[in-house]
Amino acid sequence: MQHERRNISMLMDLYEMTMAHGYFTKQDNTDRVAFDVFYRRNPDQGGFAIFGGLEQVVEYILNLHFDDEDIGYFKSLNLFSDEFLEYLRNFKFTGDVYAFKEGTIIYPNEPIMTIVAPLIDAQIVETAVLTMINHQSLIATKANRIVRAADGRIVSDFGARRAHNVDAAVYGARAAYIGGVHGTATVLAGQQFGIPVNGTMAHSWVMYHDTEYEAFKAYAEVYPDNPVFLVDTYDVLNSGIPNAIKVAKEVLGPQGYRLKGIRLDSGDLAYLAKHARRMLDEADMEDCKIMASNSLDEYTITSILYQGGPIDIFGVGERLITSKTDPVFGAVYKIAGIQKQGEWEPRIKISESVTKITNPGLKKVYRVYSEEGKAIAELLTLPHEVPSTNSPYRYIDPEKPWKELYFENCTFKDMQELVIKDGEQVVASPSLEAIRSYVQYQLENEIWEEEQRFENPHRHYLDMSPEYYHMKMDLLNRIGRKK
């Protein structure tokens, strides 16, 4: 079944369609609404996250449709009128989508995407949009943490077999590449996205042959120009490394080839790598790389390197592809405003939990840069506001509104751009390489090193213009009086 056709337009929670039917029946679909996509906290208590999945969201929205098979399924639920089902048969998304560039460094509670569309259009895309953004943003963020921990060493995605499904493996590999890994072992991801693929042998290759030496020899004969041997099937130091060296000397050397590397997949990786490095160097194989895999993440890699483990390449699997230490990104999709008779009315969700109170209304989000080009804060404003760069700009910290605060000698960058207008794409999706390079550029040039710490990172603040802050407070006060 997974090889047969499936319509991603059907990826939704049922309540999206029951509400859409309700709006249709009550003739409430003439109004336009604005929904914001944002998240509330950074994974792993980090200083930031990375925005992933936008290209897939755009593809989904542009191809949103319901065919005869889909209409038949909805009819079988006995929930929807024939008139509504006929409406779905001719459905096409006609709204606008504003979004950060894919690969942008992002922070909690800012609208990384805003959908402005007729009510039904905006409502039925919720689940699919969140699925794509939540997954790829999570994996891209986790991958970047692992890459930073590796401190310049090669990191490869080995996670497909531990991923939660086929799509999680393939799109997880895409997200990991955005986050900075150098390649993937997942062939379908390599084919689909042009990601460099890598891989050598599994333990089954070694176990199939009568001896470990014969296994390495056979592999070297097939792949003499790129041999990497898995040396932990039996005994790393007493069997695996000696046999690898022997094949390098007896088989590869006489043909003018060198052993490219060995891989460790179990045991005390720091300890084994130290001894392996010594044995390889003593055999005049200083150029032979050491690869390590086996339940790695940023914490284990940091520990291995702190202990002096001479590992050149890390193959990271389950803890990357599932973001095991913090597996939920938590982006949400909340209505922010409703247009009635040409005028926009803000909407706000309030809660007993202060962290769940939303930022209402149409808005712009600016990134504030210091004179040195470092991103120092985010700023929410009303749509018509353009922060001045010619004089100190007053802003409000919503957690400390009594303070008199100003941005001085700063520049402001409008973070959202229009990517879909009236249901048509107006900005081309960048290449995967461009998205990956954009992540790297920001981290090297714009994002404080203090925000990139794993432990107790510097907090990046979300501030508000006075006009926006007072609009939000007035709205909260009006709602409070109604209660």
* Span 389-397, average pLDDT: 94
Does residue 373 sit within a domain?
yes
pLDDT band at residue 482 under the 50/70/90 scheme: low
Query: What pLDDT was estimated at residue 388?
Result: 87
In this prediction, residue 190 carries a pLDDT of 98
Element (H, E) at 228: strand 228-230
DSSP single-letter state for residue 249: I
Residue 91 tokens, joined: 């459905």
Rounded Cα gap, residues 448 and 355, in angstroms: 25
CA distance 88 to 109: 33
* 47, part of any domain: yes
Is the per-residue pLDDT at 1 higher than 60? no
Which residue in the block uniquely carries the two structure tokens 């060198």? 258
Contact 9, 64 (CB under 8 A): yes
φ and ψ at residue 194, rounded to 5 degrees: 75, 20
β-pair partners for 109: none
Task: Over range 253-279, report the average pLDDT.
Answer: 97
Q: Evaluate the CA torsion angle 335, 339, 344, 347 in order and state its sign.
A: negative
Sequence-distant (≥ 6) Cβ neighbours of residue 180 within 8 angstroms: 143, 144, 147, 148, 155, 436, 439, 440
How many CB atoms are located within 10 Å of the residue 98 CB?
23
The CATH number that applies at residue 131 is: 3.20.140.10
Q: Is beta strand 461-464 parallel, antiparallel or unpaired with respect to 375-381? A: parallel
Report H helices in 368-409: none
Residue type, 329: F
Residue 69 CB: number of other CB atoms within 10 A? 10
Mean pLDDT of all residues in 113-119: 97
pTM confidence score: 0.96
What's the confidence (pLDDT) of residue 483?
56
Residue 2 is predicted with a pLDDT of 62
The mean of the pLDDT values for the chain is: 96
Domain assignment present for 101: yes
Burial class (CB in 10 A: 0-12, 13-18, 19+), 50: buried
On the question of pLDDT at 16 being above 60, the answer is: yes
N residues, the chain: 483
In a domain, 413, yes or no: yes
Q: How far apart are CA 336 and CA 329, in angstroms?
A: 21
The answer to whether the beta carbons of residues 314 and 293 sit under 8 Å apart is: yes
Burial code (b: 16+ CB inside 10 Å, e: under 16) for 288-315 equals: bbbbbbbebbbebbbebbeeebbbebbb
What is the number of alpha carbons within 13 Å of residue 81 lying toward its C-beta?
A: 11
Dihedral sign of CA atoms 145, 146, 147, 149 in order = positive
Average pLDDT, integer, range 142-146: 98
Let me know if residue 390 belongs to a domain.
Answer: yes
> What DSSP state is assigned to residue 43?
G
Residue 397 has pLDDT above 80, yes or no: yes
| Domain count within the chain | 1
CA dist 110 and 216 (Å) reads: 53
Model confidence band, residue 4 (pLDDT cutoffs 50, 70, 90):
low
Kindly state whether residue 187 falls inside one of the protein's structural domains. no
SS3 32: strand
Domain that holds residue 428: 8-140+327-481
Average pLDDT, integer, range 306-312: 98
- pLDDT interval class at 476 (50, 70, 90): very high
Model confidence pLDDT, tens digit, residues 243-265:
999 999 999 999 999 999 999 99
Neighbours of 209 (CB within 10 A): 14
SS (H, E, C) 293-344: CCCCCHHHHHHHHHCCCCCCEEEECHHHHCCCCCCCCCCEEEEEEEEECCEE
Residue 189 pLDDT more than 80?
yes
Position 384 in a domain: yes
Task: Name the 3-class secondary structure at 96.
Answer: strand
Q: What is the pLDDT of residue 479?
A: 85
Q: What is the DSSP string of 126-195?
A: HHHHHHHHHHHHHHHHHHHHHHHHHTTSEEEE--GGGSSSHHHHHHHHHHHHHHT-SEES-HHHHHHH--
Q: In whole angstroms, what is the distance from residue 155 CA to residue 148 CA?
A: 10
Q: Would 403 be classed as within a structural domain? A: yes
Structure tokens at 302: 């940091």
